[in-house]
Structure 1
């Protein structure tokens, strides 16, 4: 399994609207082929910084299948207006686990 970590900076004062947009978009991720789940985390130290963590079977499930889908277009339409900068995205895999 691969975890996509998207660090997202949003416009100050739009935190509630962004969180509502992600809540609406969450089913788009969960319905996507290869998606194993998703979580949204908010920074304590930087309240306009979020990390969207999406678990995928493979990197290609994210970068090819999802990014080329209508679900991705809908996600960006919902959340994109709140972005202060383009999200920084990376993919990680576990090397140590309990």
Structure 2
């Protein structure tokens, strides 16, 4: 399993709309082969900061499958305008336990 992690910094005064649109965008990501689940966490210290975690079977399920899909275009249309700066996406694999 691969864990995708992205720290999302949402533009001021847009968090409510972002959270609404994120729910809609979630319908698209879960349609992708190799998708295992995702969650969005909101920072307690900074109301504009979110942590997105997505679980994939393989790295390619995200980098090629999702990013090369029509569903990604909808995800992008719904969400990419909210971020400032644009997030860095990193991938992790479990070491322990």
TM-score, structure 1 normalization: 0.94
Q: What is the CA–CA distance in structure 2 between the aligned matches of 1:70 and 1:85, rounded to whole Å?
A: 24
Alpha-carbon distance, 1:45 to partner: 1.1
SS at match of 1:52: strand
Cα offsets for 1:7-39 (capped at 9, x unmatched)? 111101111111111100111111111000010
Structure 2 unaligned blocks of 5 or more: none
Alignment match, 2:44: 44
Q: What is the CA–CA distance in structure 1 between the aligned matches of 2:59 and 2:6, rounded to whole Å?
A: 13
Aligned length: 97
Alpha-carbon distance, 1:87 to partner: 1.2
Q: What is the CA–CA distance in structure 1 between the aligned matches of 2:7 and 2:70, rounded to whole Å?
A: 22
Whether 2:65 is the aligned partner of 1:65: answer yes
Alpha-carbon distance, 1:46 to partner: 1.5
Whether 2:27 is the aligned partner of 1:4: answer no
TM-score, structure 2 normalization: 0.95
Q: Which runs of 4+ in 1 moved over 6 A?
A: none
SS at match of 1:79: helix
SS at match of 1:41: strand
Alpha-carbon distance, 1:95 to partner: 1.3
